Amino acid sequence: MKSLLKPFLGVVLVAGIAGAAHAQAPFAKPEYAIKYRQSAMFIMGQNFGRIGAVVKGERPYNKDEVAKYAAVAAEMSKLPWEGFVAGTDKGETHAKPEIWTDAAKFKSASEKMEQEIGKLAEVAKGGDLNAIKAQFGATGKACKACHDDFKEK
């Protein structure tokens, strides 16, 4: 019986440590977290930019396309935040240290951006181009505010 107890306890200990590590860090390496958040931001930005082209008159307005772009951007806006974990302040990133030193302000700014882009997705469903333009401006301000405070140029 004793011969089975040690290996069993060893397996339980390793599984417990691995489980705790996984709960604290969903990314195997810091660079994966950086790439994850950058990818989410890239896709969000691409879709937001397509709406911007319509708002500026550079592309024709198509209600269904704008609604789709806004919905994708809104979904993507929920994703990058879990990629801002300890150890991801170094490497190929433009993240400012204030993300970690003023985490409450960063959280507030990210929540504001999510809210505004969510409103844009709702407005876009309605198809009123003037309302879309107004909300696009509010969303852009929320994005810019976060970039100004938390992103290196």
Question: Would you say residue 19 lies in a domain?
Answer: no
Task: Provide the residue range defining the domain that includes 127.
Answer: 28-150
Question: Would you say residue 6 lies in a domain?
Answer: no
pLDDT in tens, 36-48: 999 999 999 999 9
pLDDT in tens, 85-121: 999 999 999 999 999 999 999 999 999 999 999 999 9
pTM above threshold 0.75 = yes
Structure tokens at 65: 């396309």
State how far the Cα of 24 lies from the Cα of 16, in Å rounded to an integer.
Answer: 12
Question: Would you say residue 8 lies in a domain?
Answer: no
Tell me what pLDDT residue 6 has: 52
> What's the number of domains the chain is made of?
1
Question: Would you say residue 133 lies in a domain?
Answer: yes
Pick from 53, 42, 47, 51: nearest CA to 79 = 42
Structure tokens at 34: 């950086």
CB 77 within 8 A of CB 117: yes
CATH number of residue 34's parent domain = 1.20.120.10
